[in-house]
Amino acid sequence: MEDLLCQPEWRIIDQSAVGLHFQALQSFGTDDTLCASVGAGEAPATARTWVHHNTIVLGIQDTKLPYLQEGIQFLNTQGFQSIVRNSGGLAVVLDEGVLNITLIFPEAEKGIDINRGYIAMWVLIQNMFADFKQQIEAKEIVGSYCPGSYDLSIDGKKFAGISQRRLKKGVAVQIYLCVNGSGRERAALIKQFYELGVQTEQTKIAYPEIVPAVMASLSELFAVKLTISDVMLRLLNQLKISSNYLSAGQFTEYELALFPGYYQRIIDRNEQIASM
């Protein structure tokens, strides 16, 4: 197993159920808070899980779309709110069938190479679903939304994307897992968002040309009915294997003091974009 996963302790912050009742903006403020806390040695390595109601999370590049507001208005008519995360990448879909996992590591003196963070998450997901015969690959899936070198796929169909954020000597590796529901329908939603956001304009940024058929959920790919709870159990079992101790936790007092500042930063960014 990738050695980054082998930690003396894993603190688990499970918001996979309660996350439906707060906004994704808070999640990104939470991850920044945990990154700073773990990086400062104020908390052990932490695994946080979260699920949000219909939300499209835009990347900074998406805010450069020439017809961004038209795209956002379309998403609203489909019952989705939009937020902008505090990192790069492009639009992704969150809903009740998508589990987000964030692994927060303390950065060693020599630092954690960016590929090691990606590989650690890839290995974790492979181990979580090792009882299925299908091979989970890590490579860019052209035609997917938010494509990247560490898209996770089975038979050429993407079900997950991985990103990283580094802050205050902490490294947060984040993944969204399409557990159930239709990957094709999620991709079709983002396809129409980009078509409305770009229209016939020439853009400096190469926005993806979405091909809905290249995306699927794990339930579709494994031909079984997986729930968020099923995947949570698999995650906890794997972290237990790689650690001497699992602890369930929430914010410490140190983190409670940090959170308002990080949360306000992402609120400010979204307000600036909304006023454009």
Task: Please give the positions annotated as active site.
Answer: 146
The residues that bridge with 103 in the sheet, in sequence order, are 47, 173
Query: How many C-beta atoms surround the C-beta of residue 227 within 10 A?
Result: 13
Beta strands in the chain (DSSP E): 10-15, 46-50, 55-58, 81-84, 92-94, 98-106, 137-138, 152-154, 157-167, 170-178, 246-248
DSSP-based helix, strand, coil % in the chain, nearest 5 = 40, 20, 35
219 vs 216: CA distance, rounded Å: 8
**Cβ atoms within 10 A of the Cβ of 236, count?**
18
Task: Answer yes or no: are the C-beta atoms of 186 and 93 closer than 8 Å.
Answer: yes
Structure tokens at 74: 């379309």
CA distance 219 to 174: 21
Amino acid letter, 256: L
The angle at the Cα of 208, spanning 90 to 138, to the nearest 5 degrees, equals: 75
Beta strands in 74-123 (DSSP E): 81-84, 92-94, 98-106
**Cα–Cα–Cα angle for 117, 118, 120, rounded to 5 degrees:** 65
Query: Which residues fall within 8 angstroms of residue 230, CB to CB, at 6 or more apart?
Result: 179
Tell me the two tokens of residue 59. 């990347």
Instruction: Show the tokens assigned to 189.
Output: 């939603």
- CA nearest 31: which of 276, 255, 270? 255
